[in-house]
Amino acid sequence: MKIESIYLLVVPIGLVLGGYLVGKIFQRIAATRLAELAKKSGWQDRDIIVAAVASVAGLWCTLLGVHSAVMSLPLRPDVSEYLRKLIMSGYIVSATFVLARIAVGYVHAHAVKVRGVLPSTTIFSNITRVAVYSLGALVLLQSLGIPITPVLGALGVGGLAVALALQDTLSNLFSGLHLIASRQVRPGDFIQLSSGEEGYVTDVTWRNTTIRELSDNMIIVPNSQLAASRVRNFCQPNSELAVLVEVRVDYSCSLEGVERITMEVAREVMKDVSGGVPSFEPLVRFHKFGESSVDFTVTLRATEFTDQDLIRHEFIKRLHARYEREGIEIQPPPTIGYIKSDHRTSHSNRQSRAS
């Protein structure tokens, strides 16, 4: 009798341990070989499924061992049925997490493939995850013998009360979906708000849009406020933008020579400076006869918004050095000239009064 009792305990424990060991072996060996096989076969998005399945392979094998151990024990039918439902619940919950991970992975992968059509944002991942979890919960209730029709009815009735209580949250949610669907604001875009803040859009969640300033500070803007405000997007319709530089030269300078030298410096900056557009042909346009200078505008082009400062810096520095070598005189803005004139006048007045 004692030997039979020991046998009844050894077999279930052995089945549980065997399932656990098989799961560990699958995680370390089989998953690696499956990934290699999928790579050779050219199976797209293989890593998503392999990684998701491998993460719960040990749990599934352990549950299989527990199920076999329960079946081998002489238990009462009600206890056996209770344990069977408990094990089945473990399978359903783990399978739900696996499916949610695969679905979110496919959302990210598809967003990368069709970038510009479906941006990779947290809001889509959260919606996908909630949808899969909801379906998994309904399947779990059905497997436990709980009718889901009353549950769905209760959710429909309670949904109205929840919607009224969460008006602000739902407003931000649908505003975020509208921003993404319209593709007017996308992660990675450099935008400027009507209030003056500007930076890169890093993410759009179910409630807020996160903007990273150039100083690495984060701006958290509710989606509803962002959708209702005026936004300047420097990355649409494309990320390139014109860089304008105002220059004034003396009347004694040859305008043809000024244009030729300025164009040479501008082409050099476009090719050498990081962030310039080498294929862009700079423009020089004279537009005004000033009081003491001929004014013109040089048009350069930057790859994105943050590159314009370096391009303007290098262009002004190189143009100043080149004008000095060529003997071209740069005239200051009129306001500066007036200040200098007033200073000389006051200085001469003081000398005359002293004499």
Instruction: Pick the more confident residue, 314 or 36.
Output: 314
Confidence of residue 86 (pLDDT cuts 50, 70, 90): confident
CATH topology for the 172-233 domain: SH3 type barrels. (2.30.30)
pLDDT digits (tens, 9 = 90+) for 35-69: 666 566 555 566 677 677 777 777 777 777 777 77
Write the single-letter amino acid at 226.
L
Lowest mean pLDDT among 25-34, 37-46, 200-209: 37-46
Average pLDDT over residues 3-20: 66
Average pLDDT over residues 198-213: 87
Q: Is the pLDDT of residue 341 over 60?
A: no
CATH classification of 241-336, choosing from 3.40.190.10, 3.30.70.100, 3.40.30.10, 3.40.50.620? 3.30.70.100
Q: Is-same-fold flag (172-233; 241-336)?
A: no
pLDDT at 254 over 80: yes
Q: What is the pLDDT of residue 197?
A: 87
Cβ atoms within 10 Å of 57's Cβ, excluding its own: 21
Tell me what the mean pLDDT of segment 165-185 comes to: 75
How confident is the model over 317-344, as a mean pLDDT? 73
Whether 103 shows a pLDDT value over 60: the answer reads yes
Higher pLDDT, 251 or 137: 251
Burial string for 296-320 (b: 16+ CB within 10 Å, else e) reads bebebbbbbbebbebbbebbeebbe
Cα 229 versus chain centre, distance:
21
Listed in sequence order, the DSSP H helices in 144-289 are 149-165, 167-182, 223-228, 255-272
Where is pLDDT greater, at 39 or 181? 181
pLDDT for the residue numbered 276: 92
List the chain domain ranges.
2-148, 172-233, 241-336
Among residues 106, 105, 109, 99, the alpha carbon closest in space to that of 53 is found at: 99
Q: What percent of the chain has pLDDT over 90?
A: 23
- What does the pLDDT average to over 243-270? 94
pLDDT band at residue 249 under the 50/70/90 scheme: very high
Strand pairing category for 231-233 and 241-249: unpaired
More confident residue, 344 or 90: 90
pTM: 0.52
Confidence of residue 187 (pLDDT cuts 50, 70, 90): confident
Which tokens is 224 given?
A: 């509803």
